[in-house]
Amino acid sequence: MGAYLVRRSFLMVLTLFGMSVLIFVMLRLVPGNITDIIFDSAGFVNEKQKKKIEQQLGLDKPIVTQYANWIAGLAKGDLGYAYVSEKPAIDEILPRIPVTAKLAVLALVFSVLFGVPLGVISAVRQNTALDYCLRVVSLSGLSLPSFWLGLLILMAFVQWFGWIPIYQSDPGSLWKEIALLSIPAAAVGFRSSALLMRLTRSSMLEVLRQDYIRTARAKGASDQVVNYDHGLRNAMLPVVTIIGVEAAFLIGGLIVTETVFNIPGVARFLVEAIRWRDYPIVQNLVMFIAIVVVVVNFLVDMTYAMLDPRIRYES
């Protein structure tokens, strides 16, 4: 296990290093550089003044030096300055994380609350009308674009309640904030809940086919005990892992949902920063996302190893 941990950690660092190179290079392929964009709001471009800005931002240095400066800064915890706002990048990114995290947690809660029980029901009642019905619903969850769902929700609220559930920076109370955030969270969580439900169902079915379940049934255990006691417990392992992976990947869905609901989180900020070619923001945010994903994957694997004694990590 120790050797495995070392190897995994090494690979994690390697992956993140690779990501940093990839994102750095890709950003510099983007048509139009930051100085053009800084000038855009002035409605013209002055080449001389542009050169000066490039110098100030260090964009005139060779790309390797720029990369080295970035990484050296990262190692010291210095993310550099945002080009557009001229504030430290960290001050732009950090305050936006809590709201995104809250949304992600709510979305996960939503998806687990709906996905897991419905998946179990679907598996236990396999091939009944109920099962078909639930499967179609879950498939539709994977088919509706979450931004469209969000728009429909917004339209419905305005149509029927004359009120629009958009983000407020100071909602008053925690409960009010949760209530406000739970609407977009549901729009994102719908997809994850569908995914969870499908996974729970197939995992359940898999387990229910196993020999020990048959044995239990043969020994005369009740359906109740077989399905929920033996079945569910063993089916949960892959479900737990997928919850972990989903948690990291929710950010994809959050990008559009934060845009639709006008929530000032990191996910929407990424799109804005890309549009503004604000390299320090984009590259640091992408690294942040990559770190979250890699670490979550690692934790998931560890949990798996601990929960399932059959898995042994030998290298």
Partner 1 sequence: MRLKPVFIVASALVAAFLVATPAPAQKQGGTLRIYHRDNLPSASIHEEATISTVMPFMSVFNNLVVYDQGKKLNTPETIVPDLAESWAWDASRTRLSFKLRQGVKWHDGKPFTSKDVQCTWHKLIGKDPDDFRKNPRAIWWHNLKEVTLKGDHEATFNLNRPQPAFLSLFASGYTPVYPCHVSTQAMRTNPIGTGPFKFAEFKRGESVKFVRNPDYWKKGRPFVDAIEWKVIENRSTRILAFVAGEFDLTFVTDVSIPLLKDVTSQAPKAVCEVAPTYVSTNLIVNPAAPPFNDARIRKAMALALDRKAYIEILSGGKADISAAMLPPPEGVWGMPPEFMRTLPGYAADIGKSRAEARKIMQGLGYSEAKPLKVKVSTRNIAIYRDPAVILIDQLKQIFIAGELEVIDTSIWHAKVTRKEFAIGLNLTGIGVDDPDVNFYENYSCGSERNLTQYCNKEVDALILRQSQEADAAKRKTLVWEIERKLVEDLARPIVMSDRSATCWQPQLKGFVLHHNSIYNNWRFEDVWLDK
Partner 2 sequence: MAALDHAAELEKAGANVSSRFGAMLFLARSYPLGAIGAVIMVGFLATALFAGAIASFDPFTINARDSLAPPGGAHMLGADFMGRDVFARIVYGARISLAVALGATLLGSLFGVSVGLMSGFIGGWFDLLVQRLIDIMQSLPLLVMALVMAASLGPSLTNTIIAIAIPLVPSVARVIRSNTLSLREMPYVEAARAVGMSELRIAVSHVLPNTLAPLIVLATAQLGSAILVESALSFLGLGVPEPHPSWGRMLSESAAEYVRTAPWLVIFPGIAISAVVFGTNLLGDAIRDMLDPRQRC
- Applying CB under 8 A, the residues found at the interface with partner 2 are 11, 14-16, 18-19, 22-23, 26-27, 29-31, 126-127, 132, 135-136, 139-140, 142-145, 147-148, 151-152, 154-155, 158, 202, 205, 248-249, 251-253, 255-256, 259-260, 270-271, 274-275, 282, 286, 289-290, 293-294
- We find the least distance from the C-beta atom of residue 292 to partner 1, in angstroms, to be 21
Is residue 174 within 8 Å of residue 185, measured between CB atoms? no
Helix (H, G, I), strand (E, B) or coil at 42: coil
User: What value does the CA radius of gyration of the chain take, rounded to a whole number of Å?
Assistant: 24
Task: Select from 209, 197, 210, 200 the least CA-distant residue to 235.
Answer: 200
- We find the least distance from the C-beta atom of residue 52 to partner 2, in angstroms, to be 26
User: Among partner 2, partner 1, none, what does residue 236 contact (CB within 5–8 Å per kind)?
Assistant: none
Per DSSP, what are the bridge partners of residue 88? 81
Helix (H, G, I), strand (E, B) or coil at 81: strand
In angstroms, the CA 27 to CA 106 distance is 32
User: Among partner 1, partner 2, none, what does residue 169 contact (CB within 5–8 Å per kind)?
Assistant: partner 1
Name which of 169 and 315 has its Cβ closer to partner 1: 169
User: Among partner 2, partner 1, none, what does residue 202 contact (CB within 5–8 Å per kind)?
Assistant: partner 2
CA torsion through residues 204, 209, 210, 212, sign: positive
Name which of 170 and 314 has its Cβ closer to partner 1: 170
In angstroms, the CA 235 to CA 242 distance is 12
Q: Write the DSSP symbol of residue 20.
A: H
In angstroms, the CA 241 to CA 295 distance is 13
Name which of 96 and 191 has its Cβ closer to partner 1: 96
Helix (H, G, I), strand (E, B) or coil at 88: strand
Name which of 22 and 307 has its Cβ closer to partner 2: 22
Residues that bind partner 1 (CB under 8 A): 31-32, 36-46, 49, 52-53, 56, 84-87, 92, 95, 154, 158, 162-164, 166, 169, 259-260, 262, 264, 268-269, 272, 275-277
* Per-residue tokens: 186: 């549901």
User: Among partner 1, partner 2, none, what does residue 256 contact (CB within 5–8 Å per kind)?
Assistant: partner 2
In angstroms, the CA 199 to CA 192 distance is 10
- We find the least distance from the C-beta atom of residue 55 to partner 2, in angstroms, to be 24
Name which of 20 and 35 has its Cβ closer to partner 2: 20
- We find the least distance from the C-beta atom of residue 56 to partner 1, in angstroms, to be 8
In angstroms, the CA 194 to CA 206 distance is 18
Name which of 178 and 299 has its Cβ closer to partner 2: 299
Q: Write the DSSP symbol of residue 80.
A: -
User: Among partner 2, partner 1, none, what does residue 166 contact (CB within 5–8 Å per kind)?
Assistant: partner 1
**To which residue do tokens 């709001």 refer?**
41
Name which of 2 and 43 has its Cβ closer to partner 1: 43
